Amino acid sequence: MNLILTPNLADPDGVYEKLIALHEGRDEADSHRINARLILILINHIGDRETILEAIEVAGGDA
């Protein structure tokens, strides 16, 4: 599976709004825990090791 890097989400603004709302009123440590949990849930959903490793490489490319 190749990583999709072009827009591929219906209602991205609505999803972003939900993500931001998830963090409202939480401290930084709690927000980090939520982000980590979300990442692990999505990694499990993807389930393809090569795609996940490619995403990690792309995400860390600008770091």
Domain extents in the chain:
33-63
Each residue's pLDDT tens digit, 5-61: 999 999 999 999 999 999 999 999 999 999 999 999 999 999 999 999 999 999 998
Instruction: Please give the pLDDT value at position 18.
Output: 98
Instruction: Please give the pLDDT value at position 59.
Output: 94
Alpha-carbon 9 to chain mean position? 13
Q: Provide the 10 A C-beta neighbour count for residue 63.
A: 4
Q: Enter the tokens of residue 2.
A: 């190749």
